[in-house]
């Protein structure tokens, strides 16, 4: 076992491409909801019910066992780009049953992502810069099986909505430097290979208040929290956030 580790370490030294082995650490923690979780009213679907069902969840606040908040995005700002992974993940958002899956996607290094239509009906994927609500992209996907590849060069948060089904909403966070993660169903996140140093860690949550404006849900402002962290080489720094 020790030999394997030593060999792995040697390879990391050689393959690190300028990154000296041992000078990075991990940041890991949770986003939890404190107190009674507000109940989220489902959206009443009045057409395309055969595919979309009769009610749709807006997925604005998803809290699991123990209060863990899914779909928060945690990121570090102001780092140089993370070394590319050997085999980069494929980033895909499916439209299935008139819902985006996953609800929040983190795309690293400005890679492209794919939006796929798994439904036998027309979806129109309308992407907005979340910061100012201006259109970033607009893709019609009239047929089941259609896939559109999006290359987003500007890092930041994007909101996707469907022009046909107003309840459909999802977020894509394009992490320019690669140090970002979405929380899982336990509210947990992990950022790996972070160079040792002091940083501002940001937690972003979309916010959960909605207002019905002529049948289209309008969303409240996102919640953002920051904390200072110190990343130490070879260690894991704990960082927890609380929503209430
Ligand atoms: Cu749609």
Distance 175 CA to ligand 1 centre (A): 26
Q: How confident is the model at residue 90 (pLDDT cuts 50, 70, 90)?
A: confident
CA–centroid distance, residue 65 to ligand 1 (Å): 30
- % of residues, the chain, pLDDT over 70: 89
- In the prediction, which pLDDT does 64 show? 95
168 CA → ligand 1 middle, Å: 7
pLDDT one-digit tens code per residue, 122-147: 999 999 999 999 999 999 999 999 99
The answer, yes or no, to whether residue 17 has pLDDT greater than 50, is: no
CATH assignment of the domain containing 210: 2.60.40.420
Percentage of the residues of the chain whose pLDDT score is greater than 90: 79
**What was the pLDDT predicted at 157?**
96
pLDDT at 177: 86
Q: Which residues contact 211 (CB under 8 A, 6 or more apart)?
A: 217, 218, 220
Ligand 1 centroid vs 86 CA: distance in angstroms?
Answer: 35
When divided into structural domains, the chain yields a total of 1
Candidates 6, 8, 19; CA nearest to 233 is 19
Q: Would you state the torsion angle of the CA atoms of residues 72, 74, 77, 79, taken in this order, to the nearest 10 degrees?
A: -140
pLDDT, averaged across the chain = 89
Q: How many CB atoms lie within 10 A of CB 229?
A: 20
Phi and psi torsions of 105, nearest 5°: -125, 135
Report how far ligand 1's centroid is from the alpha carbon of 231 (Å): 42
The Å distance, Cα 144 to ligand 1 centre, comes to: 12
If you measure from the C-alpha of residue 63 to the centroid of ligand 1, how many angstroms do you get, rounded to a whole number? 25
For residue 20, is pLDDT > 80? no
SS3 state of residue 79: coil
| C-alpha of residue 52 to centroid of ligand 1, in Å | 9
More confidently predicted of 119 and 85: 119
Question: In angstroms, what is the span from residue 241 Cα to ligand 1's centroid?
Answer: 33
Beta bridge partners of 117: 95
When mean pLDDT is compared across 42-56, 59-73, 83-97, 219-233, the lowest value belongs to 83-97
How many A from CA of 95 to the centre of ligand 1? 8
- Which of 148-162 are b and which e, b meaning 16 or more Cβ less than 10 Å from the residue's Cβ? eebebeebebbbbbb
Domain membership of residue 195 as a residue range: 2-243
> For the CA atoms of the chain, what is the radius of gyration?
20
| Ligand 1 centroid to residue 97 C-alpha, Å | 9
Residue 215 alpha carbon to ligand 1 centre in Å? 14
Pairwise CA distance, residues 25 & 2, whole Å: 21
pLDDT reading at 182 higher than 90: yes
- Report CA-CA distances (Å) from 23 to 8, 20, 139, 173, 200: 16, 6, 43, 27, 18
Q: Which residue has the tokens 């749709």?
A: 56
Q: How far is the CA of 206 from the centre of ligand 1 (A)?
A: 20
Structural contact between residues 243 and 34, judged by C-beta atoms closer than 8 angstroms: yes
| pLDDT-derived band at 110, boundaries 50, 70, 90 | low
């Amino acid at each position: 076992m020790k030999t394997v580790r030593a060999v792995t370490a040697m390879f990391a030294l050689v393959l690190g491409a300028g990154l000296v082995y041992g000078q990075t650490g991990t940041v890991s923690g949770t986003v939890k909801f404190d107190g009674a979780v507000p109940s989220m009213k489902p959206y009443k679907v009045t057409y395309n019910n055969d595919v979309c069902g009769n009610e749709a969840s807006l997925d604005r606040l998803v809290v699991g066992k123990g209060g863990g908040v899914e779909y928060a995005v945690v990121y570090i700002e102001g780092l140089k780009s993370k070394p590319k992974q050997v085999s980069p993940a494929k980033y895909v958002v499916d439209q299935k049953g008139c819902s985006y899956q996953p609800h929040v996607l983190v795309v690293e290094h400005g890679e492209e992502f794919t939006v796929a239509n798994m439904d036998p009906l027309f979806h129109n994927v309308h992407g907005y810069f979340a910061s100012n609500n201006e259109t970033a992209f607009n893709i019609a996907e009239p047929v089941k099986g259609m896939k559109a590849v999006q290359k987003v060069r500007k890092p930041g948060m994007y909101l996707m909505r469907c022009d046909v089904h107003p309840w459909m909403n999802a977020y894509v966070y394009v992490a320019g430097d690669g140090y970002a993660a979405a929380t899982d169903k336990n509210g947990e996140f992990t950022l790996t290979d972070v160079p040792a140093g002091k940083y501002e860690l940001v937690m972003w949550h979309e916010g959960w208040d909605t207002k019905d404006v002529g049948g289209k849900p309008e969303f409240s402002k996102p919640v953002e929290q920051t904390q200072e962290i110190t990343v130490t080489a070879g260690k894991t720094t704990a960082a927890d956030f609380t929503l209430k």
